[in-house]
Copies of this chain bind each other. A is one copy, B any other.
């Protein structure tokens, strides 16, 4: 059964928008025949791109606006002054029920500010977080926050832990996810006050969460836990450091396999295996980070991705919508909120 719904897309967000966005939508449209798209942005730029992709015929409605959110815009000023921007209008479409979710590759801070304002946060959540899926030697893990917030206090980190746990259970399909707090050491006394306080709350609380304790940077790829909780500053830098490392490795490997005749022949012989290796670590395959904690599906694409990567961000949104995962998360969060607020009066975990 093909699920039918409409997805709202900010066509003007991202380094190479709207070209990269429309081509990404075209790739995703092939994969999701039941999905239609609202494309928000400059019609004179978008229309020719849509025409160039026959798969989009009859499946796209362009919602014209010239206003855009710039990469340099402060979140607060974007929220105040960019009320007719492609980003804002594409979010409004979700709140107004015209679309089931929204995808943007634009300014992260502005997207969060607007999504928070328009869609509102879930009960018990002060700030939404950006969650992303990472490859590990054991499979996959989810890490949050990847940059929705620049600073996070202990309460924020605890809320991220709750949301990440639900995400791992519902989206990654882990039965009883293990949650870790990213730190500079695994010993209790390591780190700054916010992580120490958050660990103390998670350890002592009656939340139905399997808390592993602190994890270090190398525990991410090792798959030590299913959920890695961190502040948005650290999470964003770690995400991009891992992406940069991945690109460097692929380049070094290419250089090694073209450095001599035996290497070249070996590389040719192993090309299928090497392609599978490359796909396994391709950052574009992990593009599409979800804003957790909002009343609506909002997926943030990497601004520097290409059409293939943007299509993956759309895939993420489609999965969340089709499987009604956000509804499940909302229900679970509402239940979990009983345990978090107020912490001292929380009952026993279920």
Contacts and interface: CB of A to CB of B under 8 A. Distances in A.
B221 A241 contact: yes
Nearest to A255: B277
A187 B269 contact: no
Interface size class of A (residues with CB under 8 A): 35 or more
A248 B137 contact: yes
Contacts of A136: 248
B241 A192 contact: no
A257 B152 CA distance: 42
B244 A218 contact: yes
Interface stretch (A118-126, A231-239, A320-328, A336-344): A231-239
Contacts of A241: 217-218, 220-221, 238, 241-242
A276 interface: yes
A349 B299 CA distance: 47
A238 B236 contact: no
A221 B234 contact: no
A208 interface: no
B151 A192 contact: yes
B273 A189 contact: no
Interface in A115-173: 135-137, 147, 150-151
Contact of A236 (B135, B184, B252, B255): B184
Contact of A221 (B184, B190, B248): B248
Among the interface residues A220, A232, A234, A267, which one has the most CB atoms of the partner chain B within 10 A? A234
Contacts of A188: 72
B238 A260 contact: no
28 contacts: A71-B185, A72-B187, A108-B185, A109-B190, A137-B247, A137-B252, A150-B184, A183-B237, A184-B236, A217-B236, A217-B238, A217-B244, A218-B243, A221-B244, A221-B245, A234-B234, A238-B238, A241-B241, A245-B246, A249-B281, A255-B277, A256-B280, A257-B274, A259-B276, A263-B269, A263-B270, A266-B271, A270-B270
3 tightest Cβ-Cβ pairs between the two chains A and B:
A266-B270, A217-B240, A266-B269
